[in-house]
Structure 1
Amino acid sequence: MSGPLNRPVRRRTFVLGSAAAAGSAALAGPLAESASAASFGWSDDGSHYVVDTGANLVFKVSKTNGDLTSLVHRGTEYQGYGGKNSHVESGLGTSTVTIAQSGSTILISVAYGTLRHYYAARSGENNVYLWTNKADTSVSATRYIVRVKAGLFLNDEPDSYTYAPTTVEASDVFAKSDGQTRSKHYSKLRVIDYDYIGWNTGSVGLWIVLSNHEKASGGPFYRSLLRHQSADGGGLYEILYYGENQTEAQRFGLQGPYVIAFTDGGAPSSSLFPGTLTTSWADSLGISGYVAAGGRGRVAGVGITGRNTAYPYTVGLANSAAQYWGSARSSDGYFSIPGVLPGTYTLTVFKDELAVHTTSVTVTAGTTTSLNTISIPSSNDPGNASAVWRIGDWTGTPSGFKNAALMTYAHPSDVRASSWTGNVVIGSGSETAAFPAYIWKDVNSGLLVYFKLTAAQAAAAHTLRIGVTTAYANGRPQVTVNSWVSAIPSPPTQPSTRSLTVGSYRGNNYTFTYSVPASAWLTDVGQYNVLKIDVVSGSGTTGYLSAGTSIDAIDLLA
């Protein structure tokens, strides 16, 4: 793909995997010096196509299956561990692999059934550009993994389990001897938060710069694998489709370019980032599914009213074929989303991660679809409702609740987690911080909330709301108010895979409402009413894999 892509300007999170701080970015991407390209070219060693970029980077691609079998930068081999190569998914098998040079670009094309994969090199650049076109479900292509030799990049980050030999859950969550947990799932980051992922020693950096994810699924707040490191070696991922805690159907078509980039120890060049990367040089290469900048459009909005300016707002576009997003300007809500494929999209305005407005927008190639000011009705934001009391903020996230921040990079059993049990008293001033971000049937079901009502409040019926962001094994809240017991609510649609234990609360936001009659309240205004919240489900196993749910907010409406 070429032209400006869909990433918002605010994505500036850099992920480093060593104690060395990133220095100034080394030459990378389109800004690399052309003087270093004297040896640019390719050869055939019989089993591989060997490409020299002329920038101290030589890589090999298998002529048999399209695996990346060698990645040598400044004389050091980085590729491979455990006898495995870098490749789409776990390797494609026998494929048709061809190579062609067009001026200062070399393109290797891999055809495997209906799947097409591409590697491109540019003269004088220490990068490898990759595209993957998955046309249907006949090929299980959900990722590209760059496998990196052990010992080249040392780290002890949350997504590393080099020093964590004890298995906590399944075969992919581990515990160190000090009780801290590690897993390749624990990235901390949402897709909207980062432009690249990798490691750096201070003298060399190896990165994957992600694509615009227009053919991925899950939206801007989705979390998936980014990297891992174990005793065997490390892996950097570009996830093309990831089914764990997934909220959308799989999309098909060309995804990319995503870039394997080397630097002299700094961050990759911002010219490679989605949103700034241009690839007009690829327009005529014949990449299957490629749409140049001229075949794309833009959506721009002059502003958004009805916002709560205490929170960031994101505008997303999505249909069955593609997804995009951009940040709304904090001052007035202005937004611009470029590089959009033609079509009709659902436009969603998110307050933090909570959808508060939707409409439809049509995009035409070569033009900008300009939108008048979007007005968010007050009733669309549940945080605007008058409440007797409220725990948490309506943001579509468990932010502020006990252990919420830790849970994006640790297992619930982690030694750093505060106790998952404990009750809450309204008026204490610490209601949200004391209330657990997650509730499980087998861990802390039966949490109690104590509150008092005035005589006027106790004389009326009230609506109780519990907002959730995801659920595991159909876990949902049933409430008891004093002696009044609610019906068991039906489970909303949620992902069926693990979520709460693998660093993600992102499912489908849903609000449970309970009509509590006036007869449920205590008539003595000096006494505390007691709300009990139980998790009910006939599914799940035990402990942290019992049925559970993540909390967005809880309130009793006035």
Structure 2
Amino acid sequence: MSTHKKHLTRRRLLAASAVGAAGTGAAVVAGTGLLSSASAATFGYTDDGSNYVIDTGASLVFKVSKSTGDLTSLVYKGKEYEGYGGKHSHVESGLGASTVSIKQSGATVLVSVAHGTLKHYYAARSGQNNVYLWTNKADTSFTATRYIARIKAGIFPNEGPDSWVEAADTIIEAGDVWKKSNGQTRSKHYSGLRVMDYDHVGYTTGSVGLWMIRSNHEKASGGPFYRSLLRHSNDGGVGLYEILHYNQSQTEDMRFGLQGPYVLGFTDGGTPASSLFARNLDTSWVDGLGISGWVGKAGRGKVAGVGLKGMDADHPYTVGFANADAQYWAKAASGTGAFTCPGMLPGTYTLTVFKGELAVHTREVKVTAGGSTALNSITISDDPSTANTVFRLGDWDGTPGEFKNAKLMTYAHPSDVRATKWTGNVTIGGGDEAASFPAYIWKDVNDGILVYFKLTAAQAAAAHTLRVGVTTALINGRPRVTVNDWVSAIPTAPKQPATRSLTTGSYRGNNHTFTYNVPATAWKSDTSQYNVLKLNIVSGSTGSGYLSPGTSIDCIDLLA
């Protein structure tokens, strides 16, 4: 058994991926690989010498390599779906030599894979067209955590923001962002989805659907708003992913321990049954299987909150829970803010109330096994929107969502033909200010954006605090401001992810507010004249174009 330390490069980790919501489409050209011998028969398993062959007793037969733990075959209704480019489906980029064993316990077959300190599991349930998977990662022997299901090309529709044609499209960035002849961009990064936005991703022909149904991500990193690779398709094949830690736009340290189950499942064209979703899944059948690190329902607790006080009706609220070992979240009910978060591992968590994606309140909460922690109404204590302002551009919600091109940027490159020009000075009071202001500012692209505003005589006679909120930054890009003839000091760079972000579908980093104390002498004394605020991006690092220092804007306001 190999126990070598295997560090994945970003290229190895990302090879063959992309993302998007569950796609639909008409039937496409049928794939190859019809296997007459693979018709569903009796539930159980056999050994063909190289693989364990598991028959679900429904319409699915799959194989797991006895030497590597790779998933080497997925035959549904007689058709082979698995594999492309000479590669199979596996943890990371393949574990290599591993110890693989199998056992049947009543209506369940379990395959166990051990490679060094990492353990991985596959399970089949009698009569179901699903493969249940778990991954237990104990340490940093691997630098990321993912499972990729590799599916043959030509079976499912090659469409969506995470699809491209290598034979026809042009690479425009880092080998993984493509531009089509019509000027639209595609990438495996362009899901447009946060973790909390989806239960499953996959493809359908209309008559066959193949889906990756995500786990609860309790051992993942990045929280409810994290964006990562979910799926991809091109002329070489299709990838479906469960990614728990990914070294791009990552804001948290890696968590360790057992994650799952996540489910690779077939349907007759429709979306998966909601009973397979992580929040609904009955896992009582797992309790006796002996999976390393498994904690059943009896070993978990929950938190229930009466509600939130001080909510803004224009924004959704999420309550997150996190510590070094686990993460969870729950949507707060509209109006009351009531929330419930079940199925939590015991421990002490930081509870964070998010307005949109902006943390506006934190406290600690303790969870006990078999217990229910009840919380009285929580009064939101740290919403920057409650401050009185002279003007406000956008809103404090932890996202650039109100600004120009923001929504497009979760599933396209900034150079995409659909993007409106990134330049755009605005005048406060001119109407549609936020919609005219760019969501992102780069040193090489649209540096020096201007905001025009007027002050009353009383306002011009006083000093004011200017706030600029950002959601992430590329290579330490941060705003230095000029107000008329007054120039601010260069602000200290906050901690942000060190990888690409603004060009790979993610504005999510660490929300940060820069404050600038603007003296009364900076303002125009003539109230009929406009004051001019200029934002310049500064950084000690260099880059070019859309990979030059940059930042994503959450909100800009001038306090009264």
* Matches of 1:426 and 1:139, distance apart in 2: 51
Contact 1:305 1:375 survives alignment (8 Å) = yes
Equivalences for residues 345-364 of structure 1 within 5 A: 345-364=349-368
Q: In 2, Cα distance between the equivalents of 1:119 and 1:38?
A: 20
2:344 corresponding residue in structure 1: 340
Deviation at 1:462, TM superposition (A): 0.6
SS at match of 2:128: coil
What is the rounded CA distance, in whole Å, between the counterparts of 1:327 and 1:20 in structure 2? 34
Return 5+ residue gaps in structure 1 as ranges: 1-12, 22-35
For 2:245, what is the secondary structure of its paired residue?
Answer: coil
Query: Aligned runs of 1:311-322 on 2, under 5 Å?
Result: 311-322=315-326
Q: Which residue of 2 aligns with 1:485?
A: 487
Decide whether the 8 Å contact of 1:184 with 1:227 is kept in 2: yes
Task: Measure, in 1, the Cα distance between the counterparts of 2:21 and 2:549.
Answer: 33
The Cα shift of 1:309 comes to 1.6
1:182-221 mapped onto 2 (5 Å cutoff): 182-221=186-225
CA distance in 1, matches of 2:376, 2:20: 34
Is structure 2 residue 271 aligned with structure 1 residue 276? no
- Displacement of 1:310: 1.4
Q: Specify the alignment match of 1:116 in structure 2.
A: 119
Alignment of 1:243 onto 2:247: yes
Aligned residues of 2:221 and 2:245 also touching (Cα < 8 A) = yes
How many residue pairs get matched? 530
Question: What is the alpha-carbon distance in structure 2 between the residues aligned to residue 551 and residue 198 of structure 1?
Answer: 32
Q: Distance in 1 between matches of 2:78 and 2:473?
A: 49
* Partner SS state of residue 240, structure 1: strand
- Within a 5 Å distance, the mapping from 1:100-139 to structure 2 comes to 100-139=103-142
Is 1:15 aligned to 2:33, yes or no?
no
| CA deviation string 1:167-216 (max 9, x = no partner) | 11001000000000000000000000000000001100000000000000
CA–CA distance in 1 between the matches of 2:504 and 2:216?
24
Tell me by how many angstroms 1:14 deviates. Answer: 9.3
Given candidates 406, 412, 430, the residue that maps to 1:410 is 412
CA shift for structure 1 position 18: 3.4
Deviates more, 1:139-148 or 1:150-159: 139-148
1:40 equivalent in structure 2: 43
Report the counterpart of residue 93 of structure 2 in structure 1. 90
Higher relative contact order (CA 8 A, sep 6+): 1
Deviation at 1:37, TM superposition (A): 7.9
SS at match of 1:544: helix
Partners in 1 of 2:142 and 2:447 — Cα distance?
42
Going from structure 1 to structure 2, the CA distance change for 1:240 and 1:14 (only over 3 Å counts) comes to closer
User: Where does 1:275-314 land on structure 2 (aligned, <5 Å)?
Assistant: 275-314=279-318
The one-letter code matched in structure 1 to 2:22 is L
Secondary structure of 1:388's partner? strand
Distance 1:70 1:480 in 2: 61
Contact 1:160/1:230 (CA < 8 Å) preserved in 2?
Answer: yes
Normalised TM-score (structure 1): 0.94
> Which residue, 153, 158, 161 being the options, matches 1:155?
158
1:431-510 equivalences in 2 (<5 Å): 431-510=433-512
Task: Choose which of 223, 230, 247 in structure 1 pairs with 2:227.
Answer: 223
Deviation at 1:231, TM superposition (A): 1.0
**For residue 203 of structure 1, what is the amino acid of its counterpart?**
S
- Please give the alpha-carbon distance, in whole angstroms, between the structure 2 residues aligned to 1:532 and 1:14: 37
Tell me the C-alpha RMSD between the 2 structures: 1.3
Structure 1 residue 156, shift from structure 2 partner: 1.8
Secondary structure of 2:395 counterpart:
coil
Give distance in 1, aligned partners of 2:300 and 2:22. 33
Mark the CA change 1:150 to 1:156 in structure 2 (over 3 Å): closer, same or farther: same
Q: For 2:505 and 2:252, how far apart are their aligned partners in 1?
A: 18
Ranges of 4+ aligned residues in structure 1 off by more than 3 Å? none
Cα distance in 2 between the residues matched to 1:333 and 1:20: 41
Displacement after TM superposition at 1:505 (Å): 0.3
How far does residue 154 in structure 1 lie from its aligned partner after superposition?
A: 1.2
Cα deviations by residue, 1:516-541 (Å, 9 ceiling, x for unpaired): 00000011111111111000002131
Deviation of residue 39 (structure 1)?
Answer: 1.1
Distance 2:142 2:455 in 1: 60
Alignment partners' CA distance in 2, 1:235 and 1:517: 56
Partner of 2:31 in structure 1? none
Q: Secondary structure at the match of 1:534?
A: strand
Is 1:180 paired with 2:181?
Answer: no
Deviations 1:268-289 (A, max 9, x none): 0101001000111110110000
Question: Match for 2:486: what amino acid?
Answer: W
Identify the residue that residue 538 of structure 1 maps to in structure 2: 540
Matched to 1:108, the amino acid is: V
Task: Give percent identity, aligned residues only.
Answer: 71
CA contact under 8 A between 2:20 and 2:162: conserved in structure 1?
no
1:20 CA drift (Å): 4.2
* Aligned residue number for residue 65 of structure 2: 62
Query: Which ranges in structure 2 are unaligned for 5 or more consecutive residues?
Result: 1-18, 28-38
Contact 2:40/2:61 (8 A) holds in 1: no
Look up the equivalent residue of 1:356 and give its one-letter code.
Answer: V
Q: Deviations over 1:15-52 (max 9, x none)?
A: 3323249xxxxxxxxxxxxxx98511100000000000
> Which amino acid in structure 1 is aligned with residue 121 of structure 2?
Y
The residue type equivalent to 2:218 in the other structure is E
The answer to whether the 8 Å contact 2:481/2:533 transfers is yes
The match for 1:6 is: none
Given the two structures, how large is their TM-score scaled by the length of structure 2? Answer: 0.93
Residue 329 of structure 1: aligned partner: 333
Query: Does residue 557 in structure 1 map to residue 559 in structure 2?
Result: yes
8 Å Cα contact 1:114/1:139 also seen in 2: no
**Partners of 2:223 and 2:459 in 1: how far apart?**
41
- Distance in 2 between residues matched to 1:128 and 1:279, nearest whole Å: 14
- What one-letter code is carried by the residue in structure 1 that aligns with 2:287? D
* 1:25 aligned residue: none
One-letter code aligned to 1:87 = H
- Tell me, in whole angstroms, the C-alpha distance in 1 between the residues paired with 2:135 and 2:534: 50
Q: CA deviation at 1:355?
A: 0.3
Match of 1:373 in 2: 377
Q: Deviations over 1:452-489 (max 9, x none)?
A: 11111111111100000000100000000000000000
- Name the amino acid aligned to 1:284: G
Matched, 1:255 2:256: no
Q: Which moved more, 1:531-540 or 1:132-141?
A: 132-141
Equivalent residues of 2:144, 2:246 under 8 A apart: no
Structure 1 residue corresponding to 2:74, chosen from 65, 71, 82: 71
Could you list the per-position Cα deviations for residues 393-444 of structure 1 after superposition, in whole angstroms to 9, with x for gaps in the alignment? 1000001100001000000000000000121111111110110000001111
For 1:9, the equivalent position in structure 2 comes to none
1-structure distance, mates of 2:513, 2:329: 24
Residue deviations 1:326-350 (CA, integer Å, cap 9, x gap): 0011121110000000000000000
Could you list the per-position Cα deviations for residues 287-335 of structure 1 after superposition, in whole angstroms to 9, with x for gaps in the alignment?
A: 0000000000000001111111211100000000000000011121110
- How far apart, CA to CA, are the structure 2 residues paired with 1:177 and 1:227? 22
Contact 2:41 2:55 in 1 (8 A): no
How far apart in 1 are the matches of 2:420 and 2:431?
A: 18
Q: How far off is 1:142 after superposition?
A: 1.4
CA distance 1:337–1:497, change in 2 (3 Å): same
Give the secondary structure class of the aligned counterpart of 2:529.
coil
Task: Look up the equivalent residue of 1:494 and give its one-letter code.
Answer: Q
| 1:88–1:289 distance in 2 versus 1, CA, 3 Å | same
Match of 2:469, as an amino acid?
Answer: G
Q: Is the 8 A contact 1:17 1:153 kept in 2?
A: no
